[in-house]
A and B are shown apart, each in its own frame.
Chain A
Amino acid sequence: MADKHPTQRPDPGANAGWSALGTLLGGVVAWGGIGYVLDWWLDIPRHLGLLVGMIVGISGALYLVMKRFG
């Protein structure tokens, strides 16, 4: 039973899945958003800021997921 370890309890699988998905989405949205704002502010052509931002964001999010659940 779960309440045998009241302090340190592993997340049930579904929980971990949902929060990992949230983190990945958060990464893309956060840094993609920053990139998009930079595009608009500095007139960067071809949405390069958005592109680079999304790649940076997904790598950051992957790192975070690996740190937290790995």
Chain B
Amino acid sequence: MGHQPTFLAEGFPPGVKDFDFESWIPSLRDSEWGLAFTKITFMVWLAVAIIIVYFLVSYRNPKLVPTKKQWFAESIYGFVRDGVARDVIGHEGLRFAPYLTTLFCFIAVTNSFAVIPLFQISPNSHIAFPVILGVISYVMFIYLGIKQHGAAKYFRTNLFMPGIPWPLYILITPIEFISTFLTRPVTLAVRLFANMFAGHLMLLVFTLGGVAMLGSANIFVMGLSVFSFLMAIVMTFFEVMVIFLQAYVFAMLTASYIQGAIADEH
């Protein structure tokens, strides 16, 4: 060991330069917009375009007996409407189904870039995107709660739990405040970010580790690289599961916060 492994292809160990997409559009170079156009932003726009075009195309000519495309689009919407909106929020949750479906599709598609060849990183492994998604859900459930109950009643029921002796409020109210109004958006954002970032690192570690072992002078270490590559394949399948699980969890938790905000407290 000890020497630099020889890499198989040029530009193989991926680095920061792979995020520089400004060379795609020559007039962007050296302008301040050049820095804004990276692989990550490109993937986000691509995801938005894919979702819009897919749903427009599959609903352009709806049939009573759906085509395969229409059936798939309808089953995504039906899954979020019945499985998330109605099951978690209840009957009035149906009006949030479009938002929750959009959220689910956006996270699922952007997450999927983590395992699609040539992209192989999810925009959600950049903390900025989960933070914005978390903030949208956060502002939304507080707004809905205030609209439903009025600000005073909403904050009173959330901060002062009924039915406990009053001295305990000194102990309980800071906990309620932190867990309802601070940790919720933070955990929403960090859960998505950390899952996608860790997944990306896992795949990198096993793939690059395999390549490094393959470049070793020791024949034994070289043979062991097979296990590293096998592990990379296994982790890719695991990552596919995490991708959809995280999209589902994000939509489900948003729904559950909305439910908590608009529910009648006892």
Contact = CB atoms under 8 A, between A and B. Distances in A.
Interface residues of A, number: 29
A70 B51 CA distance: 43
Contacts of A34: 174
A56 interface: yes
A45 interface: no
Nearest to A2: B87
A29 B178 contact: yes
Interface in A20-60: 22-23, 25-27, 29-31, 33-34, 56-57, 60
Interface string A13-25: 0110011001101
A7 B174 CA distance: 29
B202 interface: no
A18 B256 contact: yes
A25 B180 CA distance: 11
B184 A15 contact: no
A19 B256 contact: yes
Interface string B204-222: 0000000000000000000
Contact of B175 (A6, A12, A19, A61): A61
B90 A6 contact: yes
B256 A23 contact: no
Interface in B155-214: 161, 163-164, 168, 171-172, 174-180, 182-184, 187
B264 interface: yes
B172 A63 contact: yes
Contacts of A64: 161, 172, 175-176
Contacts of A23: 175-176, 179
A57 B172 CA distance: 9
Contacts of A57: 175
B39 interface: no
B252 interface: yes
Interface of A: 2-3, 6-7, 9, 11-12, 14-15, 18-19, 22-23, 25-27, 29-31, 33-34, 56-57, 60-61, 63-64, 67-68
20 contacts: A3-B90, A7-B264, A12-B87, A12-B88, A15-B252, A22-B184, A22-B187, A27-B179, A30-B177, A31-B174, A31-B175, A33-B178, A56-B171, A57-B175, A60-B171, A61-B175, A63-B171, A64-B161, A64-B172, A64-B176
Given A26-B177, A34-B174, A61-B179, 20 more contacts: A12-B88, A15-B88, A15-B252, A15-B256, A22-B184, A22-B187, A23-B175, A25-B187, A26-B179, A29-B183, A30-B175, A31-B171, A31-B175, A56-B171, A61-B175, A63-B172, A64-B161, A64-B175, A67-B161, A67-B163
